[in-house]
Structure 1
Amino acid sequence: MKIDFANIQKAYKEHQAEFEQVTLEVMSSGRYILGKETEEFEVGLNQFVGSKFALGCSSGTDALLLALMALGIGPNDEVITTPFTFIATGETIAFMGARPVFVDICEKTYNIDVTKIEKAITKKTKAIMPVSLYGQMSDMTEINKIAEKYNLAVIEDAAQSFGALYKGKRSCNASIIGCTSFFPAKPMGCFGDGGAVFTSNEELNDKMKAMRVHGQVQRYTHKYIGMGGRLDNIQAAILNVKLKHYQSDIERRQWVANQYSKALTGHAVIPYIKEDRSSVWAQYTIRLENREKVQSALNELGIPTAVHYPIPMHLQECFQYLGYKKGDFPISENCANEVMSLPMNPYLTLEDIEYITNNLIKII
């Protein structure tokens, strides 16, 4: 038996006729950048998320950059975030000339530990960037309260949680700016790179809209230093199709997660989702002490696995200049040594899941 980890090809085949129709329409129209499809997608994003404004952009990384740029974050500023995430979170802060300040994670949710944030705040702190890891949002109420107390901005890195709920609110609409990614392997992925930024602040939206097109407020008139951060129209067309079916995909991902949890309870440390929120299951991630042995054995059985993420950011070579050392964030380091993600996509069948879990339990 051969299991597909993300099953991107199946996602294409399920709605193949729709995808081919909309892409042909864009190709024949000659409107490849910021056209009708992008505008429709942004309206759809607003309706789905509940924010006042949404902007499609070229990637999740560029979404984070637009947020930081619009907030004026730069040299001598500090941004608090987690070391246990994909490199883009800390990388974008550093790219702006600011300093990433790491705070360890909660061992149960893998998201930033809100009880440790205040100790990391200094006079240079300008923002907090929580990451909604694996599909579950961070403790946004507590984070927003801390931010309000110290007059800080909150940027939700929601690259893995688009569509998740937190106390009835959608991810990307729980802070001043939310950012997400539509990388192909995400819960809602396009056929290339793509992302979006969300806000209900009109001034910030106008800034990011201009900065997305080189700071341009009208043709060849540039108010800000910006970037070429636009979403391709063909990707917007594809995402319009994906968004139409996304709630169904979320429900199917939840079903897969339920089957995993039912089978693996008592055999491994399974994901913990807080009662006041949901996950879109960007990953189904368990913890094992003998990860390498298990991964090798599963691979021989045609069951792919992945590690998200094996090296915390404070131990990455590119962040050596920050002066962190091994042992500074022990929970992140322990998790990095033990987490293992199982195949997760809406197309896994009960037979697939039983094959994965039965073999996993035998190996453990």
Structure 2
Amino acid sequence: MTDFAKTRAAFYLPEGVTYLDGNSLGPMPKAAKARVADMMADEWSEMLITGWNKAGWFDQPRKVGDRIARLIGAGDGQVVMGDTLSIKVFQAVSAAHALRPDRRVILSDSGNFPSDLYVAQGLADAVDAELRVVAPEDVADAIDKDVAVLMITEVDYRTGRRHDMKALTAKAHAAGALTVWDLAHSAGAVDVDLTGANADFAVGCTYKYLNGGPGAPAFIWTHPRHAEAAQPILQGWMGHTAPFAFDLDYRPAGGIDRMRVGTPPVIAMTALEAALDVWDGVDMTDLRARSVQLSEAFIAGVEANCPDVTLHSPRDPQHRGSQVGFRHPHAYAVMQALIAQGVIGDFRAPDVLRFGFAPLYNNLDDVDHAVRVLAGILHDGSWDHPDFHKKSAVT
């Protein structure tokens, strides 16, 4: 059994704060500060450029990738780190599209994270393809012989709706299409099984439920059947078979290494390593059960005490990730009032109060406290203060 009291104790959680925004940025693992300080003092400062070999910086993206692989149902040597999620989305979709050159359609849904759609649209414009966007519930029916790539975020960033990865992948394969799954709101929150679902490509970020810190690097996974054939449009020197030969012509590295692009963000990846230490004793089945327990308790508590809000997430936990959204006509102001009282969730336009439940450090006390504070704010109308209506760039 996973010891969630132990994992909670591994994080720095500010006094007086109930943090329900780990689906946007996870809190800092206590070990991260010292780990990064040691890296800078013992590696960068002392080793200088020799740190690429002596400290293993060059191999770090693969070693860290192997640690993430266990959390997403992948195998060793199948995941590599680096760059941003948008870059990894571009790589995965372009590689998948190139494997289906006789087809033009990249299919996605309106619940996808907008940045993924921006990337896909840019790619579609560049390769004379079509980005086709349908409602989340219409994805399965929209998969036809024209689709080259199905690009889906497994868990909707607003509603928490969870797509059936295995079923949609099977439907795509039956139609001759390939799949790209964005795990930004899945990895570290639900029991992802890329191998069991027979998916083709997957990407994800590490600053949300994996707690790697702001701007932590993204990851990319390629199913072994595509590893030697996949060729993304974006080719960088770290993905070259001999990066330090400085050839003028690109020759892709073998396997997942060809999905590397730029120089690894060593300092950021060192912080991520400390975050991944917390996962060493975590069973993913236990994690999912804990996630369901927390989100179910929150929904029950809010609906019993807050009649002014409406559930915006799937009621069935099997169709939901580890976040819950409620609608309120003044959701932005209500969320600002919550934050002012130490309950940190976030707002998504136009009217969604969004709460992320991270099983590693959230518990039922957090749920009960958040429900009480939300009910109090809605009951006394304290959200209706001019300061709570002033929108900032980051919410």
- Give the TM-score taking structure 1 as reference length: 0.72
1:101-124 Cα distance to aligned partner (Å, 9 max, x none) = 111124xxxxxx444423xx463x
- Secondary structure of 1:222's counterpart equals coil
Would the aligned equivalents of 1:3 and 1:303 in 2 still touch at CA under 8 Å?
A: yes
What is the aligned counterpart of 2:220 among 197, 201, 204? Answer: 197
Pairing of 1:1-364 with structure 2 (within 5 A)? 3-4=18-19, 6=21, 10-13=27-30, 15-22=32-39, 24-27=41-44, 28-29=46-47, 30=49, 31=51, 35-52=58-75, 53-73=78-98, 77-96=104-123, 97=125, 98-106=129-137, 113-118=138-143, 121=144, 123=146, 125-133=147-155, 134=157, 137-165=162-190, 169=193, 174-182=198-206, 184-201=207-224, 203-204=226-227, 207=230, 211-213=235-237, 216-218=240-242, 219=245, 220=247, 221-223=249-251, 228-246=261-279, 248=282, 251=287, 256-266=294-304, 267=306, 268-269=310-311, 271-272=313-314, 279=321, 281=322, 283-292=323-332, 294-308=334-348, 310=349, 337-342=350-355, 344-345=357-358, 346-348=360-362, 352-362=366-376, 363=378
Would the aligned equivalents of 2:64 and 2:273 in 1 still touch at CA under 8 Å?
A: yes
Please report how far the alpha carbon of residue 80 of structure 1 lies from its aligned counterpart in structure 2 after TM superposition. 0.8
Would the aligned equivalents of 1:288 and 1:338 in 2 still touch at CA under 8 Å?
A: yes
Identity %: 13
1:36-61 Cα distance to aligned partner (Å, 9 max, x none) = 33332122233443324111121111
Please report how far the alpha carbon of residue 185 of structure 1 lies from its aligned counterpart in structure 2 after TM superposition. 3.8
Q: 1:294 is matched by which residue type in structure 2?
A: V
Distance 1:5 1:148, change over 3 A: closer
Please report how far the alpha carbon of residue 171 of structure 1 lies from its aligned counterpart in structure 2 after TM superposition. 8.7
Alignment length (residue pairs): 324
Q: CA RMSD in A?
A: 3.9
Which runs of 5 or more structure 1 residues have no equivalent in the other structure?
107-112, 311-336
User: Which consecutive segments of 4 or more residues in structure 1 shift more than 6 A?
Assistant: 224-227
Q: Which moved more, 1:135-144 or 1:218-227?
A: 218-227
Please report how far the alpha carbon of residue 65 of structure 1 lies from its aligned counterpart in structure 2 after TM superposition. 1.1
- Secondary structure of 1:294's counterpart equals helix
Please report how far the alpha carbon of residue 228 of structure 1 lies from its aligned counterpart in structure 2 after TM superposition. 3.7
Please report how far the alpha carbon of residue 290 of structure 1 lies from its aligned counterpart in structure 2 after TM superposition. 4.7
Please report how far the alpha carbon of residue 84 of structure 1 lies from its aligned counterpart in structure 2 after TM superposition. 2.2
Distance 1:200 1:351, change over 3 A: closer
Rg (Cα) greater in structure: 2
- Secondary structure of 2:215's counterpart equals coil
Please report how far the alpha carbon of residue 296 of structure 1 lies from its aligned counterpart in structure 2 after TM superposition. 5.0
Please report how far the alpha carbon of residue 233 of structure 1 lies from its aligned counterpart in structure 2 after TM superposition. 2.6
- Secondary structure of 1:100's counterpart equals strand
Q: 2:136 is matched by which residue type in structure 1?
A: I
Matched residues in 2 for 1:290 and 1:353: separation? Answer: 22
- Give the TM-score taking structure 2 as reference length: 0.67
Matched residues in 1 for 2:139 and 2:337: separation? Answer: 37
Matched residues in 2 for 1:238 and 1:21: separation? Answer: 11
Matched residues in 1 for 2:261 and 2:64: separation? Answer: 19
Which runs of 5 or more structure 2 residues have no equivalent in the other structure?
1-15, 253-257, 380-395
Q: 2:122 is matched by which residue type in structure 1?
A: F
Matched residues in 1 for 2:315 and 2:35: separation? Answer: 34
Q: 1:239 is matched by which residue type in structure 2?
A: L
Distance 1:232 1:5, change over 3 A: same
Please report how far the alpha carbon of residue 264 of structure 1 lies from its aligned counterpart in structure 2 after TM superposition. 1.9
